[in-house]
Chains A and B, each alone.
Chain A
Amino acid sequence: MTSDEMTSGIDTIHQSYLADRRIRRIWKFVILLMTLTFGVWTVDVLNIPIERVLRMFGPLATMVTERLMPPDLYYVMEPLILASILETIEMSVLGVVGGLLIAMPMAWLGAWNVTPNRNFIYPMARAVIVVARAVPTLMWAILLVAIFGFGPFAGTLALLKSTIGFAGKLMAEQVEAIDMERVDAVRATGANEIQVFFYGILPQVKPAWVGISIYSWDSGFRGSTILGFVGAGGMGLYLRAQISVMEYHTAMGLITAVIGLVILSEALSHYLRHKLY
């Protein structure tokens, strides 16, 4: 190749590159314009007056500086509140333990590589997990309260659902990542499906499942703190009551307590996970 040929070759590439860049720029501009139009349209659909957005900072600042601060932590120390906190913890433990007892078999049945039946059991188990994840827990709790009445029983059942969705998915993912040769080795001894599960699958996923279980409790506990909002037991009841009567300092005390407990539960689950591995 002579140097002239090379130069003209570069020229062609350069021209086509610049042309492409021009087209890309036009596209970017069009997309930007469409995004902006879409943004304006959404504000219209949501019916949010702009002047309300502009005027919101004052009230927000007042809320933070005057109404929320300082949190009233003495309120949290009242026996009634402490009892509700205990009830929250109990609910979370029961709901999560129960949920895990259902999630584990669901994870086994809903894992493509080991499911005993791919045409019927697998899709059923998957559907249970997917639906349990998709139905909002708080609404589920409201439905349960309507059926079973106020109290922590409804809350426990709500947590049961969210644990099945949460842990079921993660556990099934773990099962799908196992070493199938070890499973087949157990199967080759003539073991039935249940035995295959206990000797071929469970030993492989046990550490991961333990971690997921602890994680589920952590997440379940977070969820349980607000179930009382809809009458499904626990401390959320008082939080809602305090906010609705505009007792913001006590409400903030409860929120502080929730945050403290959540951080504590996270630390505990972190500790347990590290200790158990």
Chain B
Amino acid sequence: MSDAARVENPLRPGRVILRRYAAYLAATLAVLAMAQQIIVAETDWARMGSAAELLREAAAFLPNLAFMPEVLFPLLETLLMALWGTAMAVALSIPIAYLAAKNISPFYPLAYGFGRGVIVLSRSTHEIIFALLFVSALGLGPLPGILALGCRSVGFMAKTTAEAIENVIPGPIEAIEATGAGPIKVFLFGVVPQVFPIWVGNVIFQLDINLRRASILGLVGAGGIGLMFAEKMQMLEYDKAGSVVLGITAMVIVGEYFSNRIRTRLI
């Protein structure tokens, strides 16, 4: 390298570069330390056996295609749970969005704080936790699962709806007010048409996500195809468990495809 190239870059003094590399080094060491802890210290490598044995165990999960037809009904059940869970979230999200939208929230900041609190709670609690709680209160079946999905996705729906309401353009609303329309009509004609397409997009997005969520709820007894998976694992019918996973994967991919198609067409 020529001497000119070695001249210090005035924008980045050596000290800063040094500090940056020290940070990289520290981060790498930290990750390695965690790896040592998790992968070396806490893993029973002796029990696992050779790579060939591992492969053989993994191969046991290869889907049993003959079993696929039996997966269809639980998949349908899962889809319906996702539909109901989304419907519940949508219904609950409208009043919560009303409270959580800064520009229309009544009794600011009381109701606003409440709305935001519900949103945070819903968004940071895993669906499995909701499902466990509902199963423990109501027993097994798809009902607690639907409630869990509703609670899990109401936060996202309310948050995005509130944001859409906060971002409405005021001009058309003023124009409707100027005709002498009251608050309900102003909302219906000034706010709803502006918010609706965004809202529909988010409903479809949540439906897609809830399809994934619904497929695992059965693991804790909250209905859907997860139950079948748990049963097959218990009975050590790994090939059938593999079929269940294949079925879910296919359903989720199809769901995501349609969700994307519809959402791009909406815009």
Measured CB to CB, the residues of A under 8 A from B are 42, 45-48, 52-53, 56, 59-60, 62-63, 67-68, 87, 90-91, 93-94, 97, 130-131, 133-136, 138-140, 142-143, 146-149, 151-153, 156, 222-223, 225-226, 229-230, 233, 239-240, 243, 246, 248, 255, 258-259, 262-263, 266
Contact = CB atoms under 8 A, between A and B. Distances in A.
B185 interface: no
A152 B38 contact: yes
B124 A151 contact: no
Interface centre among A46, A63, A233 (most CB of B within 10 A): A46
Contacts of B133: 63, 68, 243
Majority SS at the chain B contact face:
helix
Contact of B47 (A87, A130, A149, A255): A149
Contacts of B219: 138-139, 142, 229-230
A23 B223 CA distance: 41
Given A133-B252, A148-B43, 15 more contacts: A42-B80, A46-B84, A47-B141, A47-B142, A48-B143, A59-B138, A134-B248, A136-B245, A136-B248, A139-B226, A222-B126, A229-B220, A230-B219, A233-B42, A255-B125
Given A46-B81, A258-B125, A136 B31 contact: no
B200 to A, nearest CB: 15
A53 B143 contact: yes
Contacts of B29: none
B142 A152 contact: no
A195 to B, nearest CB: 18
B256 interface: yes
Contacts of B238: 146
Give the size range of B's interface with the partner: 35 or more
A146 B237 CA distance: 12
Contacts of A67: 136-137
Interface of B: 30-31, 34-35, 37-39, 42-44, 47-48, 54, 57-58, 61, 76-77, 80-81, 83-84, 120-121, 124-126, 128-129, 132-134, 136-138, 141-143, 146-147, 212, 215-216, 219-220, 223, 226, 229, 233, 238, 241, 244-245, 248-250, 252-253, 256
A219 to B, nearest CB: 11
A258 B212 CA distance: 21
5 contacts: A67-B136, A87-B37, A134-B249, A149-B48, A259-B120
Contacts of A131: 249, 253
A229 B57 contact: no
Contact of A93 (B31, B57, B212): B31
A153 B223 contact: no
A151 B48 CA distance: 12
Contacts of A87: 37-38, 42
Contacts of A47: 141-142
A249 to B, nearest CB: 13
A259 B48 CA distance: 35
A67 B132 CA distance: 13
A147 B38 contact: no
Given A139-B216, A147-B54, A225 B126 contact: yes
B248 A45 contact: no
B124 A222 contact: yes
Contacts of B44: 149, 151
Contacts of B212: 134, 136
Contacts of A239: 129, 132
A135 B245 contact: yes
